[in-house]
Each structure stands twice: as structure tokens, then as C-alpha cells.
């Protein structure tokens, strides 16, 4: 089972020095991947923990791609309905091309009403907008010539399509992951909590003759108890999970380094 690390592209920790140090330290310690999150319009009343400061997810991934050379780069997750289809697809393809095919593309629906309002996007249409982006991505990465709005054009560069992981644990999210995704990326507290959802995902994959082994779980480890952390990792591994993406609270780079060294020692 692979281990990925969340890097805080938010709050006081989202400086270039801390983000760069975190990314390079993760690569040096041979973690499989680093991940960043997506928010673009945090209202003051919901800014605790970030101060409303978020560095853009795709800009962060492009910058981190230039800093690193081997570690995989994950969006955990890109909120599809916030963005227009073609510019987003072009950014994704460009990051995949320039990173040497290291992108792991997590995609979600979004949930924060304030962000949809600030964007002028109807939250009720988020599923439709997400499906439109996913459909275009799956088409564009498989052929040079594509069409949008009754206009044909060339989609280049066209590197290998990054694996697409669909977020969410609701039934509709699991069905979307099977229909449009290559994998699934739920947020999970304890392994026992998502056994039913995992069974549903695998049954649906089987019914569609799709592989069901590309599952990335976003979770946290007990960073003060090695035994509990090892037990959690083993449970996920026994469940056939491809990757755990570890959420990490940290104050500064030294704190981050101490915590990833703890994880590495497990």
C-alpha cells in the first residue's frame, strides 16, 4: 500500500518556503505522493484554521511539479463545478505533460454554499457540471481532435491520461466513480466505517467489468501512538486499499518533518 502526504496549501503553512521544504522532504524520504486541496472563496466565518488563505490547487501542483522530479502529485480534490471545462482540461494536461506523467487527479463535487455563491454557480447543477468535465477529460485524453460548443479543435499536448479518482462516499458519488473514474477517493475516519461503501463500489465495478483496486483513502493517523497507527495501516492494507493519503496538521516545517519521520518509521 502506498502512502501519500497532504501538504498544506492553506493558512500560515502555505508559504513557498514551507511548501517547497515539505515537498522535497517527502520526495527525499521516498513517500509515494504529495497532495493539495481546493478552496477558492472562504467566508470570514469559516476561516478558522486557514485564515481564508488558500493557494490555488492547480497552480500549486504545477509549481510542485517543477520543484520535484519523482514523487507523484495529487489533487485532493479538484472541485470540478468551480471551473470551466476547456481551460481546466488544458491545465490538467499541461501539468501531466510537464511533470512527466506524475499527476493523480482527484475530482469532487464541492460542498460549501458560499463558494458556489461567490462564483455565481448553481449548486444544484454541480453534478451535471462535474459529469461534463469528466466526460470531456475521458474523451480528450484519448483522441487528438475533440469538440466543444460545436467547434472542433486539437487537444494538444495530449500526454497519457492521469488516473482520475472521484471523491465522496454518498451513493451517487460511488456510482459516478464507477461510471467516469479510474478509481475512488473517499475521506475515511476508521477503516470499519466504510466497509459497506467499499463493498458497493467493488460490486458496481464488477458489474461494469472495471478494475476496483484503485482506491485512495484520505485519513489521519494517530501521530502519538505507533501501535494504533500501524494497526490502522494494516487494516486498510488488508482491505486492498491502494493508497492512504495522510492528512497532517502541522505548525511549521520542523513540525511537518517530525511527523512524516514518525510515519516513515511505521
Q: Is 125 in contact with 115 (CB distance < 8 Å)?
A: no
Instruction: Average the pLDDT over 224-234 and give the result.
Output: 96
What percent of the chain has a predicted confidence (pLDDT) above 70?
100
Number of domains, the chain: 1
Q: How far apart are the first and last CA of the chain?
A: 13
pTM for this model (two decimals): 0.97
Q: Is 172 in contact with 131 (CB distance < 8 Å)?
A: no
List of residues 6+ apart from 178 with CB closer than 8 A: 201, 204, 205, 208, 210
Domain that holds residue 94: 2-264
Cα distances from 61 to residues 66, 67, 75, 192, in angstroms, run 9, 10, 8, 32
Rounded Cα gap, residues 201 and 177, in angstroms = 8
Report pLDDT digits (tens) over 33-75: 999 999 999 999 999 999 999 999 999 999 999 999 999 999 9
Instruction: Give the CATH number for residue 15.
Output: 3.20.20.30
Q: Is 79 in contact with 137 (CB distance < 8 Å)?
A: no
Question: Residue 251 gets which letter from DSSP?
Answer: S
Average pLDDT, the chain: 97
Amino acid at each position: 500500500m502506498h502512502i501519500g502526504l497532504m501538504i498544506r496549501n492553506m493558512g500560515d503553512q502555505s508559504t513557498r518556503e514551507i511548501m517547497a521544504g515539505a515537498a522535497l522532504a517527502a520526495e527525499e524520504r521516498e513517500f509515494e505522493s504529495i497532495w493539495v486541496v481546493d478552496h477558492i472563496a472562504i467566508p470570514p466565518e469559516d476561516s478558522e484554521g486557514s485564515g481564508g488563505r488558500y493557494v490555488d490547487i492547480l497552480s500549486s501542483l504545477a509549481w510542485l511539479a517543477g520543484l520535484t522530479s519523482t514523487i507523484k502529485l495529487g489533487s485532493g480534490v479538484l472541485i470540478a463545478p468551480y471551473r470551466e471545462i476547456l481551460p481546466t482540461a488544458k491545465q490538467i494536461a499541461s501539468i501531466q505533460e510537464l511533470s512527466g506523467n506524475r499527476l493523480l487527479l482527484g475530482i469532487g463535487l464541492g460542498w460549501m454554499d458560499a463558494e458556489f455563491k461567490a462564483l455565481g454557480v448553481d449548486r444544484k447543477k454541480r453534478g451535471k457540471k462535474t459529469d461534463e468535465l469528466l466526460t470531456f477529460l475521458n474523451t480528450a485524453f484519448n483522441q487528438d481532435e475533440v469538440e466543444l460548443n460545436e467547434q472542433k479543435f486539437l487537444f494538444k499536448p495530449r500526454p497519457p491520461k492521469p488516473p482520475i479518482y472521484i471523491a465522496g462516499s454518498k451513493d451517487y458519488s460511488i456510482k459516478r466513480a464507477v461510471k467516469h473514474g479510474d478509481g475512488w477517493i473517499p475521506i475515511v475516519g476508521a477503516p470499519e466505517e466504510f466497509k459497506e461503501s467499499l463493498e458497493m463500489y467493488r460490486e458496481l465495478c464488477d458489474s461494469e467489468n472495471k478494475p476496483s483496486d484503485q482506491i485512495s483513502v484520505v485519513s489521519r493517523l494517530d501521530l502519538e501512538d505507533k501501535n494504533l497507527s500501524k494497526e490502522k495501516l494494516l487494516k486498510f492494507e488488508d482491505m486492498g486499499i491502494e493508497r492512504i493519503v495522510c492528512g497532517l496538521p502541522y505548525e511549521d516545517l520542523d513540525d511537518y518533518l517530525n511527523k512524516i519521520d514518525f510515519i516513515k518509521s511505521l
